[in-house]
A and B are shown apart, each in its own frame.
Chain A
Amino acid sequence: METSSSSPVKPRRKDKDEDKFRIGATLAFIVVIIGIGVPMWWRTTTVYRVNLPSTEILSLSETPIKTAVQVAIYTQDTSRGQLLIAELQSAFSDNEIWSVEFKQLSPTPKTQEAHTPAALEKLLLENHVQSVGDFMFIEWPKLQEELLLTTERSALMRSDTPSNKIAQLLHAKILQTYRINQILSTDDRMGAKSEAPQPAYDVIVSVLNPKPRLTHAKWNIAMAVKTYIEPWLAKVSGVSNYTVRSQWKYRVAIEADLKQVRDQSKLGRHYALQETALPHLLTSIAQNLSASTTDKPAINLVVYIPPCHIAPLHIYNSKDQRLTRNDVDAFISPPWGGFIIANPPEHVCLSAMSDQEAVPYHVSTTDNMQVMLDQLHKLLDISSELQMEGVKVVDIEQLEPRRWEYEAYLRRSAIRHISTASSTLQSLIKLLDQISYIVIDDEVGAAITNSYADILAAKAALLEHRLADASVLAKRAFVASERGFFDASLLAQLYFPDEQKYAIYIPLFLPIMVPVLSSFNMLRGVLQARRKEKQS
């Protein structure tokens, strides 16, 4: 008994019997509150987050996006071919973006006899298989230009075309290195400001006839769109899907200051639309084109029929020069769309001027559709408009883009999608560290993980010379990453930030915690007492 009297707690004999129960009760409280309650509180109030491959995603940018391309070169003289290839190989040897494989096609008796470049190309392709994104240079001594780009995956070159010209052409037109650099640039001032291609677009073809009573314009626009626009879009839908709509809009006037200009025509005047007024003009009509009725981004293609009192209408620049070329007055504003001014024929306006009854007329389909197709090439960013000295490009004659242009577009879009998806995932991971209330549920987690896997697969496909696969994978990675980043469920805990976790529960827990914590002191006393008892 002496030992126990020296302990800080001095239980009397009666208390000592109750000690057992007291300790038992205290332990039970401790187990319930600290063993079960606290972990439960912690678990139920933590923001739900699926495990993500964070470190892997953050290290995505360590492996650069590298693309493999095969370029075949056919020369009539084997030694020249070898020389060209050696020079080109050294030019592309330490390139960070491209791994170009040059392949020599040696002449055969048959190829020596080919009479036309097309026949030669056909012969060469019998033995040499080109896959998507490949390219071929064919020597054709009688060529006038140094290089002639065809509409397929080939270019003709003269016998004296130097290798640096070929390298230049590859960089500028076929691989479009400067644009890839722009995409991959991390500098936010110099980097590309345009957006990655979206998975789906609405193409809205609108014909504006502001004064339908005075201008009897007739046109089967639906049919024209079905004949020209839809088949063309079907050919380029490798990256995005397009839905086409056409509509007539009456009484939608443009807002612009028009200036009358005297001229030699029968009407004696035309009207000048200043180039600087074009953005405002688009703003004034954009509201009435009902482009916002769908959830997809829209590409607007507008054919505007000026009423006779302001027709013919031509675009002028700030130096007062008329910008009409090939009888076309049109402009584009990427990514919004294009605008064509379809002036009514002279005789229609002549009779309108002399107050006669309005003459019905037909809007020319070929004229407008040809311009519209060119606008679409530019708006979708398929055409390569860079001019090079000594290089000529064959005009498009079918309803599809040039194959090398389209494949460069596929390649560029794939790289674009990969780099955008990587940076989206990376920024999401960074944000998860900074902002605690972001929830990552199973669905979003799966989207992110899938997107990460697709990015890796797409990169591998690019390096393994499978452009078609890479394009599909990159698009899927891009779509999944956007969905992951912008999913509404990420904000599910917006009203429940970290402060809330303490602010709401501490007042609840504290009154219970105080006796529990203070009972620790008591327990310690009892334990010490027992230890001393044993020692003695």
Chain B
Amino acid sequence: MFNIMLVKFVVIYALILASCRVEADDTSVLPEGFVDAAQRSTHTNNWAVLVDASRFWFNYRHVANVLSIYRSVKRLGIPDSQIILMIADDMACNARNPRPGQVYNNANQHINVYGDDVEVDYRGYEVTVENFVRLLTGRTQNGTARSKKLLSDAGSNVLIYLTGHGGDGFLKFQDSEEITSQELADGIQQMWEKKRYNELFFMVDTCQAASLYEKFTSPNVLAVASSLVGEDSLSHHVDPSIGVYMIDRYTYYALEFLEKVQPFSKRTIGEFLQVCPKRVCISTVGVRKDLYRRDPHKVPITDFFGAIRPTRVSTDRINVTLANEDDFIFDKDKMVTKKPFKIVMESQFPSELFK
């Protein structure tokens, strides 16, 4: 009797438990799913435009900056054909580089950001304001290779990373010209009008970097800058064996964060925006979110640094047969094995004559 009671009790308890769980599921799944749907990115591909605008050996750190981001986006899956890399000078093969073919992000030479295969799309004196604006607006000169064009579309999430020497409202290119914040804003506005991006993540590591995104008006742009207007961005440290500053502070900490991100990581852009607090960066990181619709804390970092490529298994076939298999045999004659031949050894010395 007691046993049956116990069994009953257990069963009822289990039922209640189960029903509770179902209920809990029901209440949590629905709104979250709804929120997720609104939060989920609608992009179909990823592009990255990475620009180092300054040349000369003492600007080694800017090349390290841009290669750090290049390394991360490539590792997280953006193919080289969708990364536009502009580097104003060749540090890896600079005559003053004591480690030819290598560019490091720190004095311990922990990460060689130059890696094994770097595909530079615009190099040396090709890195100009004109080429950059042409790239953004898609108005490249006739004869520009396809790999040098930003062929993004309405489903592209685009990452733009700029580094170099900047001032209030401009970024210097090659020590000879500068791009103004207005030109940048115009370029992005033109991209938006032609539906050439879905969302855009704009990242700058220069002095007074925040001035560069001030004039943006296009929607779906999230911008982050290493320093506010009136502030300098600082470099991280010197490697005495190379003799120059290795990398800038902001990018150093950004790379440190990105190195821990894996392709299916749950890390968010919100976390990424906080990689460099004032305590380590010395400059204040500026963020502009008012043009961006989603909550950065719910946007996975791989929406911009990773790649998406929709694939679908398709196993149907169209039942058309036009010819026999024999018709497609490649070089029928070659397939026939060669005639066997026999090697006959001629005797070297006529020994039989002396017998």
Determine if B315 and A282 form an interchain contact, defined as CB atoms under 8 angstroms apart. Answer: no
B296 located at the interface, meaning its Cβ lies under 8 Å from any Cβ of chain A in the complex: no
B-side interface size class: 35 or more
Contacts of A518 in B (CB 8 A): none
Contacts of B142 in A (CB 8 A): 488
Contacts of A189 in B (CB 8 A): 42
Report which residue of B134, B151, B190 has the largest number of chain A beta carbons within 10 angstroms of its beta carbon: B190
**A283-B307, A491-B137 are contacts. A374–B317 as well, Cβ < 8 Å?**
yes
B24 located at the interface, meaning its Cβ lies under 8 Å from any Cβ of chain A in the complex: no
In the assembly, what is the distance between CA of A218 and CA of B326, in Å? Answer: 12
Contacts of A328 in B (CB 8 A): 315-317
In the assembly, what is the distance between CA of A338 and CA of B145, in Å? Answer: 24
Measured CB to CB, the nearest residue on chain A to B317 is: A370
Determine if B314 and A362 form an interchain contact, defined as CB atoms under 8 angstroms apart. Answer: no
Determine if B189 and A488 form an interchain contact, defined as CB atoms under 8 angstroms apart. Answer: no
**Residues A443-497 near B (CB distance < 8 A):** 485-488, 490-491, 494-495
In the assembly, what is the distance between CA of A398 and CA of B319, in Å? Answer: 8
A329 located at the interface, meaning its Cβ lies under 8 Å from any Cβ of chain B in the complex: yes
B30 located at the interface, meaning its Cβ lies under 8 Å from any Cβ of chain A in the complex: no
- Chain B's nearest CB lies how many Å from the CB of A283? 5
In the assembly, what is the distance between CA of A78 and CA of B145, in Å? Answer: 63
A152 located at the interface, meaning its Cβ lies under 8 Å from any Cβ of chain B in the complex: no
Determine if A398 and B320 form an interchain contact, defined as CB atoms under 8 angstroms apart. Answer: yes
Determine if B139 and A227 form an interchain contact, defined as CB atoms under 8 angstroms apart. Answer: no
**Residues B113-129 near A (CB distance < 8 A):** 129
Contacts of A228 in B (CB 8 A): 320, 322
Determine if B146 and A366 form an interchain contact, defined as CB atoms under 8 angstroms apart. Answer: no
Encoded as 1 (CB less than 8 Å from any A CB) or 0, chain B from 293 to 307 comes to: 000000000000001
A434 located at the interface, meaning its Cβ lies under 8 Å from any Cβ of chain B in the complex: yes
Q: Which of B73-81, B165-173, B225-233 contacts A (4 or more CB under 8 A)?
A: B73-81
- Chain A's nearest CB lies how many Å from the CB of B328? 4
A223's partner among B80, B312, B327 (CB-CB below 8 A) is B327
Contacts of B189 in A (CB 8 A): 431, 434-435
Encoded as 1 (CB less than 8 Å from any B CB) or 0, chain A from 404 to 415 comes to: 000000000000
Determine if B314 and A360 form an interchain contact, defined as CB atoms under 8 angstroms apart. Answer: no
A17 located at the interface, meaning its Cβ lies under 8 Å from any Cβ of chain B in the complex: no
Contacts of B317 in A (CB 8 A): 326, 328, 367, 370-371, 373-374
B328's partner among A195, A223, A317, A424 (CB-CB below 8 A) is A223
Q: Which of B94-102, B192-200, B238-246, B343-351 contacts A (4 or more CB under 8 A)?
A: B192-200
Contacts of B137 in A (CB 8 A): 486, 490-491
Determine if A374 and B194 form an interchain contact, defined as CB atoms under 8 angstroms apart. Answer: no
Contacts of A188 in B (CB 8 A): 154, 195, 198, 220
Report which residue of B44, B193, B310, B318 has the largest number of chain A beta carbons within 10 angstroms of its beta carbon: B318
- Chain B's nearest CB lies how many Å from the CB of A318? 12
- Chain B's nearest CB lies how many Å from the CB of A406? 14
**A279-B307, A490-B139 are contacts. A331–B77 as well, Cβ < 8 Å?**
no
Determine if A193 and B322 form an interchain contact, defined as CB atoms under 8 angstroms apart. Answer: no
In the assembly, what is the distance between CA of A292 and CA of B308, in Å? Answer: 20
Determine if B140 and A488 form an interchain contact, defined as CB atoms under 8 angstroms apart. Answer: yes
**A193-B154, A375-B314, A399-B320 are contacts. A491–B133 as well, Cβ < 8 Å?**
yes
Determine if B328 and A283 form an interchain contact, defined as CB atoms under 8 angstroms apart. Answer: no
In the assembly, what is the distance between CA of A317 and CA of B329, in Å? Answer: 35
- Chain A residues within 8 Å of B, Cβ to Cβ: 188-189, 191-195, 218-220, 223-224, 227-228, 275, 278-280, 282-283, 286-287, 291-292, 294-295, 297, 315, 317, 323-326, 328-334, 336, 338, 360, 362, 364-367, 370-371, 373-375, 377-378, 395-399, 423-424, 427-428, 430-431, 434-435, 485-488, 490-491, 494-495
Nearest 5 Cβ contacts at the A-B interface: A193-B155, A427-B193, A279-B309, A370-B317, A325-B315
What would 16 more interface pairs be, CB under 8 Å, given A193-B198, A377-B318? A194-B44, A218-B335, A219-B328, A220-B330, A286-B81, A326-B315, A333-B310, A362-B325, A365-B328, A370-B319, A397-B319, A428-B193, A435-B189, A486-B140, A488-B142, A494-B133
